Amino acid sequence: MDSIINISNQMVLILAFLLICAPLLSFFFSLIFKRFASSIAITSISTSFIAAIILFIKVWFSKTLHFSIPWIAFNNFDIRLGFLFNDLTVLMLLLITLIALLVHIYSVEYIRKDKLKPRYFAYLSLFCFSMLSLVLADNLFLIYIFWELVGFSSYLLIGFWFTKEKAVLANKKAFIMNRLGDLGFLIGIMIMLSHFHTLDIDALFGSGNLIASSFTTNGMWVSPFNMMPDYWLTIAGLCFFAGAAAKSAQFPLHTWLPDAMEGPTAVSSLIHAATMVAAGVFLLVRIAPLFNETVLIIIASIGVFTAFMAATIALTQNDIKRVLAFSTISQLGFMMLAIGVGDEASAIFHLVTHAFFKCLLFLGAGIIIHELHHLKEKHQLQFDEQDMTFMGGLFKSMPITAIVFIIAAMALSGLPFTSGYLSKDAILISVFEWADVKGGIFWIFPIIVSLTSWLTTFYIFRVIFKVFFGDFRLPQLLEADHHQFKIHEANAWLKYPVMVLAVFCMAFVFSYQPFSLEASWLFNELAPQQHVGGIYHILVPIYINILSLGLLLITYLAYARNKFSFGLEQTWIFKLSYKQWYFNEIYDAAIVKPTLLKAKAYYWFDKNVIDGLVNSSATAIIHISSLANWFDVYIIDGLVNGVASVVERLNIWFRNVQNGKVQHYIIWMLLIMITFFIYLMIF
């Protein structure tokens, strides 16, 4: 490949700088030249995209490139600034820039009427900058820096409509949840630093391979530099996983992601579906060699639990974006599971395919919401434009949107001819194989995963049938004339990005043989040794997909034709799902309320004890000072004034001596004379 585009390593470096600096410059220029904000942002992300393509071609199928310069030097180690290019990096760069470009174009229309448009594009650029830098960073410390920056830009974008109270609460929640995870990440970094004296990813996991050279023996974890009890290895892995779980919305830190849907839909699609939430998966894949057996099982358990839980919640939600949010959580759970079972290649593959179809789903939902919002504003109506109960039968008014949405839904369900089929089945196959090796209780993993997979089909087609088929329910519900409400197809700015995305949801983009996972170019490059074939490679896709198709039919009958309903609305299962397993309530009761109570108690303590102490000391000081004041006024000043007034009196009196009257002088003279005489007579 080097012969096709023959660029030097220096060129790679320049391109990498161009790649990350373009969004950064766009961030500043968007805020300065407000009129051209969207043009600037799109230009910059296009530049990044082109640079990413060139880098991809350069690095993919070739060796790893690593550039770094020392940044902060300490005694026995230094922190370096640098780029690390390997397959994972360039794949992520390409993915992020492509999706970001499409979302930027989409946003031009979506955000057109908003007064804060320049700010929106500035935030998007900031996000792209930090995400791309995170991917390019060559050591854990740099990753941490951009990890935080990603969290911060996510905070800004979730709270973009900061006048909505829910948005403000949501971005606060997201930020705090992410901080909890970041704490774990930081602890993990510190453990690594103390153990290996370097944070360089290449040195730790790549060519240097310090991780591989460390080993556990006799309960000790030994590295070339240090020795510590082996439970620290588990702790380090769990700490990194905690950071990743917060970013990727895994149980128990997942509750921020559904709330993050308060942001603009385009933002949801870019950040909360395609890129930022993938950062956790990306990080785990980067540091995967670190994890020992315990950590891997924990990751797998949490992944599968999250996948199942989120899927069940998605079954009953009425808010279209919320369904997609829980679907995202569920799919991220799949990726975590893949990492847990030791199949990082599948995780990354699913990450890539999921990024496309989930982005497409969000953008499609965004188009619907956008149109309904216009309708609402045009007719001065009062309804929630994200609520699916008001939709229905939209296929006729917006066929292109419906078709691309259905393609994405099929990809999500893992139906054949879609990218999801390849990646999801890759994970499922890995899980089955893993369970087969482990045996026993571990068979519960493939069972739950299969169940989740079917649930996925169910909930996403529930959305499709509710939204695009049946009758348009809004006029009925609002008791208005049916013909007043005309829903139009999206215009070009919205339409073309989703169509491009729809192409990327197809299986042939990733594999010339749509039923064969092993034929995927991406998969082969990432994991050449794995998946040599086996019984599960044939069985698993077949039985998953047959049942999925059956469920699809049931869903169609239930939601599009309204042939029957499940009649579960009053049962506890429905409520559990509808209330999102009561996680918000549990957290509220278990953490928020006690925290508030504690805060109140501290407040009371502050108010009554500390303030009381302070106030009483203040009062005491006031009393002392008034005493001192009294002393000053009456004793000190009294003394001074007394002396002064005595002097004054004396002065007045003595002044009368010198009053210029001759006879007075004589009186004084005589007085003194008499005094003198008396003195003489007495003594």
Partner 1 sequence: MISLQHFLFIAAVLFCLGIYAVITRKNAIQVLIGIELMINASILNLVAFAKYDVINNNGQLFALFVIVLAAASVAVGLVIILNFFKRVKTIDPNKANSLRG
Partner 2 sequence: MVEQIVFYVFAAIAILSGVYVVASQNLVRSVFMFFVTLLSVAGLYVFALADFVALTQIVIYVGGVLVMLLFVFMLSSKDSLDNIVNLKKEALSANRIPATIITIALLVILIYAILLADFEQLDWIKSNKLLIEKAQTSNVHNIGVNIMGRFLLPFELISILLMMTLVGAAHLARKEPNND
**Residues in the site for partner 2, rule: CB under 8 A?**
663-664, 667, 670-671, 673-674, 677-678, 681
How far apart are the C-alpha atoms of 274 and 362, rounded to whole Å?
10
Cβ contact 23:104 at 8 Å: no
- CB-CB contact of 153 with 126 (8 Å): yes
Q: How far apart are CB 670 and partner 1 at their closest, in Å?
A: 7
670: contact with partner 1 by CB under 8 A:
yes
> How near is the Cβ of 671 to partner 2 at its closest, in Å?
6
Say which entry of partner 2, partner 1, none residue 639 contacts (CB below 5 to 8 A, set by partner kind).
none
Q: How far is the CB of 663 from partner 2 (least distance, A)?
A: 6
Q: Judged by CB under 8 A, does residue 653 bind partner 1?
A: no
Least Å from the CB of residue 676 to partner 1: 16
**Is 619 or 656 the residue whose CB approaches partner 1 more closely?**
656
Task: State the burial class of residue 588 (Cβ atoms within 10 Å of its Cβ: 0-12, 13-18, 19+).
Answer: middle
3-class DSSP assignment, residue 520: strand
> Using the rule CB under 8 A, is 69 a contact of partner 1?
no
Our CB check for partner 2 shows the closer of 633 and 666 to be 666
| Closest separation in Å from C-beta 676 to partner 2 | 10
Is-cis flag, bond preceding 224, omega within 30? no
Alpha helices in 513-661 (DSSP H): 521-526, 535-555, 572-578, 583-587, 593-604, 611-630, 637-657
Residue 5 interacting entry, from partner 1, partner 2, none, C-beta within 5 to 8 Å by type: none
Site mask for partner 1 (CB under 8 A), range 601-640, x = bound: ----------------------------------------
Does 661 contact partner 1 by CB under 8 A? yes
- By CB under 8 A, residue 563 contacts partner 1: no
Gyration radius from the chain CA atoms: 36
Q: Tell which residue, 420, 464, 450, 449, has the closest CA to residue 552.
A: 464
In whole angstroms, what is the distance from residue 420 CA to residue 423 CA? 5
671 counts as binding partner 1 under rule CB under 8 A: no
Out of 3, 75, 76, 659, which residue is the one contacting partner 1 (CB under 8 A)? Answer: 659
Stretch that binds partner 1, among 471-479, 488-496, 588-596, 663-671 (CB under 8 A): 663-671
Return the residue of 549, 599, 667, 672 that touches partner 1, per CB under 8 A: 667
The one-character DSSP state at 511 is B
Nearer to partner 1, 572 or 653 (CB): 653
Helix extents (H) in 248-389: 256-259, 265-269, 276-286, 293-316, 320-340, 344-379
Tell me which of partner 2, partner 1, none is bound by residue 660, counting a contact when its beta carbon lies within the kind-specific cut-off of 5 to 8 angstroms: partner 1
Going by C-alpha positions, the residue among 185, 180, 107, 90 that lies closest to residue 146 is 185
Using the rule CB under 8 A, which residue among 666, 672, 676, 678 binds partner 1? 666
> How far is Cα of residue 614 from the mean position of the Cα atoms in its chain?
42
**Candidates 61-69, 123-131, 472-480, 662-670 — which segment interacts with partner 1 by CB under 8 A?**
662-670
Non-local (6+) Cβ contacts of 33 within 8 A are: 40
Which range in 427-435, 499-507, 549-557, 653-661 contacts partner 1 by CB under 8 A? 653-661
Least Å distance between CB 636 and partner 2?
38
According to the binding rule CB under 8 A, does residue 662 interact with partner 1?
A: yes
Q: In the complex with partner 2, which residue's Cβ is closer, 4 or 662?
A: 662
If the CB atoms of residues 561 and 661 are measured against partner 2, the closer one turns out to be 661
Q: Which does 662 bind (CB under 5 to 8 A by kind): partner 1, partner 2, none?
A: partner 1
Minimum CB distance to partner 2, residue 665 (Å): 11
* Torsion, Cα of 265, 125, 132, 508 (10° steps): 50
DSSP line for 398-465? -HHHHHHHHHHHHHHHT-TTBHHHHHHHHHHHHHHHHHHHH-GGGGHHHHHHHHHHHHHHHHHHHHHH
Nearer to partner 1, 476 or 651 (CB): 651
SS3 content of the chain, % helix, strand, coil (to 5): 75, 5, 20
At 320, list the tokens: 């279209």
Phi and psi at residue 453, to the nearest 5° = -60, -45
Distance of closest approach, residue 679 Cβ to partner 1, in angstroms: 20
Which of 662, 682 has the CB closer to partner 1? 662
Of the candidates 441, 250, 266, the one whose C-alpha atom is nearest the C-alpha of residue 347 is 250
Binding interface with partner 1 (CB under 8 A): 658-664, 666-667, 670
